[in-house]
Chain A
């Protein structure tokens, strides 16, 4: 019986077999959103009419015998940082309240082409800056495991939608961990593909050399199916990689890691990591050994500087990218009384339109790029980036993939780090090096921490354009853990009462 708890792959099979229609499946998910989203607040906009129209279209095509893609008719939640024609796209900011893009991002165009049903837009930290969704101008998302805790960020809405069975698939974007950290703290799967694997056209830019969209779901295979829909060369993105997409679906189904070398990054576990996180991480390593992998320890000595370099590079690029929000061509305009100058209107608009964290990062980036400080800050950070890439090269010479816990802790309480940016930034310590080097990485659940009963994420990193390797290891580990537990992790999530 196919229902909202099924995997996307199962939904796909049921749709092909004709035991359920896309309209029925879409209605089930819209009903669940109506029931639980007042508690979770994963969605900023639910696009009921368009979703049902898309579902009817897929059902009609299927009935007429057209050949459809694997995910045709399966519903999806879209992070509100990707442009969708005619549908509100806010990036979690007052700056873009009410803006309806006149075009589709490439990711959305590919989803529509594949017949994936887009249910609506999900909540996020403003302009993807944050690790908790508390920086959303529209209020935070709540973690379905414990509504008093953060769902991660910036893509907390997408991850929470998966964990609360509001959608079986979601799109996230990851600049320093915004797909993987939310996946880790909600017990779901999130993948940041190799930089350049998925087009950034229509993805509202935060830090252009780091941003990458990717698939989110509740299983490794479902993320792989979605990966193959959204990845591929795009002439509209000058940083798109013109090479074949790795065979990630086949890799996710391999369920074999015999002979693979798995490198444990010494610097990404140990001090500063919660004991239950380390325990579940080590137990997962045991499963990989039983499955025939060889574990080696690798050292990446420059990783200790990655966080510092990231918090110079990302704000620097953001201060430049967010200059486009100037109140002239779209978005908010404040103080235009016919007397004020364009510059005064710009100043007032950006004062009112941006939240505290966005302002903090723009000012930090402006500082790091300003004359007299450029070499010491931005220039030094770029050199650290070179050192991080060298560390990865040395590590990948010893191992096929690298692994670590995704985050140092499980989900913290909403409000706990709101006014302590340095503490908040520490959440991303294990995810950031990946973006700095442009490689691919995945987070999948490896258990609940004994001390608090909250999900722990296991991170797998693979070399650039070898995304299939992380799917192979992730698929194998997931199967071994589900076999050991006798159930999926999400089968233990508290049932939301709905109100």
Chain B
């Protein structure tokens, strides 16, 4: 198993939307290496004829009747918002200025 490079960790951090300093990336690359060595053993027993399990309960498509029920007021829903304007969540700009 090839080790994980600092560039790869930087790519993963971008995918995960986490800013990371150079020293954080270096430290994490070393640690991920040792973790990946420790977890690679799953490949030894994962034979093609074994079906995967994603969940302990054999449930599919649990639904309920579509009825109107009491819910949070907009004031309650916005109570934890970092910023709000006119009963809405206010977010930083999503599109570029140009």
Contact = CB atoms under 8 A, between A and B. Distances in A.
A311 B44 contact: no
Contact of A380 (B46, B56, B76): B46
Contacts of B79: 100, 102
Contacts of A319: 16
Contact of B35 (A333, A348, A354, A364): A364
Contact of B72 (A102, A195, A304): A102
Contacts of B85: none
B55 A209 contact: yes
A319 B54 CA distance: 16
A422 B28 CA distance: 13
Contacts of A438: 56-57
B38 to A, nearest CB: 5
A235 B63 CA distance: 9
Given A330-B81, A437-B56, A383 B45 contact: yes
A202 interface: no
A331 B28 CA distance: 25
Nearest to A317: B54
Interface stretch (A159-167, A339-347, A444-452): A339-347
Contacts of B54: 209, 382, 385
A291 interface: no
A102 B45 contact: no
A300 to B, nearest CB: 13
Nearest to B21: A351
A241 B57 contact: yes
A350 interface: yes
Interface string B4-46: 1000110011011111100010001001101110111111111
Contacts of B34: 421-422
B94 interface: yes
B59 interface: yes
Contacts of A387: 45, 50
Interface in A345-397: 345-348, 350-351, 354, 359-360, 362-364, 366-367, 370, 376-377, 379-387, 389
A383 B46 contact: yes
How extensive is the interface on chain A, given as a class?
35 or more
Given A209-B54, A332-B82, A360-B28, A311 B77 contact: no
A363 B16 contact: yes
A239 interface: yes
Which of B47, B56, B76, B89 has the largest count of A CB atoms less than 10 A from its CB?
B56
B36 to A, nearest CB: 8
Contacts of B43: 376, 380
A333 B83 contact: yes
Contacts of B64: 235
B16 A362 contact: yes
A255 interface: no
A350 B82 CA distance: 14
B92 A102 contact: no
A425 B41 CA distance: 15
Contacts of A376: 43
B59 A239 contact: yes
B16 A382 contact: no
Contact of A326 (B17, B19, B28, B59): B17
Contacts of B94: 341-342
A384 B54 CA distance: 11
Contacts of A382: 52-54
Interface in A401-432: 421-422, 425
Interface string A266-302: 0000000000000000000000000000000000001
Contacts of A302: 45
Contacts of B51: 383, 386
B56 A328 contact: no
B42 A348 contact: no
B18 A350 contact: yes
Contact of B12 (A102, A363, A425): A363
Contact of A422 (B35, B42, B47): B35
A377 B42 contact: yes
Given A195-B57, A363-B32, A367-B12, A308 B41 contact: yes
A367 B4 contact: yes
A327 B64 CA distance: 31
Nearest to A373: B36
Interface string B58-98: 01001010000000100011011111000001011110100
A347 B18 CA distance: 4
Interface of A: 99-103, 195-196, 209, 235, 238-239, 241, 302, 304-305, 307-309, 311-312, 319, 323, 326-333, 336, 338, 340-348, 350-351, 354, 359-360, 362-364, 366-367, 370, 376-377, 379-387, 389, 421-422, 425, 436-438, 464
15 contacts: A99-B80, A308-B40, A312-B42, A330-B82, A332-B82, A338-B92, A342-B93, A359-B18, A359-B20, A360-B32, A360-B35, A363-B12, A367-B36, A383-B42, A389-B56
5 nearest A-B residue pairs (beta carbon):
A438-B56, A330-B80, A382-B52, A380-B46, A333-B82
